[in-house]
Amino acid sequence: MKSVLYDLYYGNIDPSSFYEPLLKEHRNFLRRKFDSLDTLEEILDEEKPMLKTILEEVLDFAFVEAHWDTSNAFMQGFSLGARIIAEAYTLDLSAKND
């Protein structure tokens, strides 16, 4: 069996693939958002196909940007967690904290 560190290093672990909104409000928000996007897509298909193309491009940009932001937040959070663990192992509880 491969280790978790091996899988993480070689990109075999994708934390976003396990993501599911926990809050009912978030799930409802996402459903309403996708319903609204579907309605807008239907309207633009019929009335303004060029605007639909532009909207799809903007949404693609937003998706890529959100992915980068999420990736960056994950890496910074993981690094913070590692620093917290390292400090906990080296903490001298007998010394007074200034």
pLDDT at 97 (0 to 100): 61
pLDDT band at 13 (very low <50, low <70, confident <90, very high): confident
**pLDDT tens profile 20-79:** 888 999 999 999 999 999 999 999 999 999 999 999 999 999 999 998 898 888 889 989
DSSP structural state of residue 48: -
Helix pair 49-90, 24-47: axis angle to 10 deg: 150
Domains in the chain: how many in total?
A: 1
Sign of the torsion angle spanned by Cα atoms 49, 61, 22, 9: positive
Tokens of 93: 């509880």
Percent of the chain with pLDDT over 70: 93
Helices (H), 10-48: 24-47
State the DSSP code for 23: S
Top pLDDT among 93 and 49 is at 49
The domain of 51 spans 22-90
In the prediction, which pLDDT does 48 show? 93
Domain assignment present for residue 13? The answer is: no
pTM: 0.57
In this structure, how many other beta carbons lie within 10 angstroms of the beta carbon of residue 52? 17
